[in-house]
């Protein structure tokens, strides 16, 4: 399967992936969502809420961009809202770290993490609580930083000969790992960069890259 997507990548001098924004040029087909009864409201960070966040960490591995052998740890719940449905929807903003011998140790903020918890009678599992991610294509994990946002100096300008540009090819290869959740796949069914179609750059206190790429599974 071959699909084309666009990415906007903020590359600073200190961190290649200080911020990643994905603008997807294809549609992800989702299953039917639980019925919405009311809007989201602020919630306290209780033991139950923390337990829900802890339990879905493994499901966030591809969104985080974690490699095989990496483990994720919940550092902080920066925000949480709940919504009453046929069960409960939780909307999280989570500070998560990665650790492991074969992975890069990072701390990222994952926002728009929506988790559905069904009513007890609707969960037949004796092992877990049947938690599932909802609207997972909206989840965005970016490196945590206390630095000021980059200063934008100019507009985007086109980059010529992208197929021969080693820097662009390197950035595109690394960016592919952020797309796994959009294909609903994992490293067991890897995504490969097929082609960088076009690229442009913007000078900030580093460089923003906007890429249009083709990937295949």
- Domain layout of the chain by residue ranges: 3-19+147-216, 41-143
Residues 99 and 82: their CA atoms lie apart, in Å, by: 29
Write down the architecture of domain 3-19+147-216 according to CATH: Roll (3.10)
What pLDDT is recorded for position 152? 59
Q: What are phi and psi of 81, to 5 degrees?
A: -130, 155
| pLDDT of 145 over the 80 cut | no
| pLDDT of 74 over the 80 cut | yes
| pLDDT of 5 over the 90 cut | no
Report how far apart, in Å, the C-alpha atoms of 134 and of each of 18, 26, 73, 159, 208 are. 26, 18, 21, 37, 30
- If pLDDT is split at 50, 70 and 90, which confidence band does 20 have? very low
Position with higher pLDDT, 117 vs 191: 117
Residue 197 three-state SS? strand
Mean pLDDT confidence for 108-128: 86
What pLDDT is recorded for position 13? 40
Q: Is it true that 3-19+147-216 and 41-143 share their CATH fold?
A: yes
Q: Where are the beta strands (DSSP E) in 41-167?
A: 41-42, 71-85, 87-99, 107-118, 132-134, 140-143, 157-158
DSSP category for residue 38: S
What pLDDT is recorded for position 91? 96
What pLDDT is recorded for position 185? 64
> Can you state the percent helix, strand and coil of the chain, rounding each to 5?
20, 40, 40
Percent share of the chain, pLDDT over 90: 33
Mean pLDDT confidence for 38-48: 90
**Structure tokens belonging to residue 144:** 């945590």
**Taking the model in full, what pTM does it have?**
0.54
| pLDDT of 192 over the 60 cut | yes
What pLDDT is recorded for position 21? 36
**Beta-strand relationship, 107-118 and 87-99:** antiparallel
Mean pLDDT confidence for 63-86: 90
Write down the architecture of domain 41-143 according to CATH: Roll (3.10)
On whether the CB atoms of residues 117 and 90 are closer than 8 A, the answer is yes
Position with higher pLDDT, 3 vs 52: 52
């Amino acid at each position: 399967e071959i699909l084309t997507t666009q990415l906007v990548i903020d590359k600073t001098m200190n961190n290649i992936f200080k911020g990643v924004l994905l603008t997807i040029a294809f549609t992800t087909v989702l299953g039917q969502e639980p019925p919405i009864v009311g809007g989201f409201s602020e919630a306290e960070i209780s033991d139950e809420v923390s337990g829900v966040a802890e339990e879905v960490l493994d499901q966030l591995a591809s969104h985080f961009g974690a490699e095989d052998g990496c483990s994720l740890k919940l550092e902080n719940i920066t925000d949480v809202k709940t919504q009453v449905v046929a069960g409960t929807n939780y909307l999280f903003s989570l500070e998560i770290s990665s650790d492991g011998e074969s992975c890069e140790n990072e701390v990222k903020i994952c926002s728009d993490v929506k988790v559905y918890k069904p009513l007890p009678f609707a969960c037949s599992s004796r092992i877990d609580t049947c938690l599932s991610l909802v609207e997972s294509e909206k989840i965005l994990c970016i490196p945590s930083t206390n630095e000021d946002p980059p200063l934008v100096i100019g507009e985007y300008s086109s980059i010529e000969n992208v197929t021969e540009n080693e820097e662009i090819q390197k950035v595109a290869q690394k960016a592919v790992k952020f797309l796994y959740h959009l294909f609903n796949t994992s490293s067991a069914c890897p995504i490969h960069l097929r082609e960088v179609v076009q690229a442009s750059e913007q000078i900030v206190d580093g460089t923003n890259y906007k890429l249009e790429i083709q990937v295949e599974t």
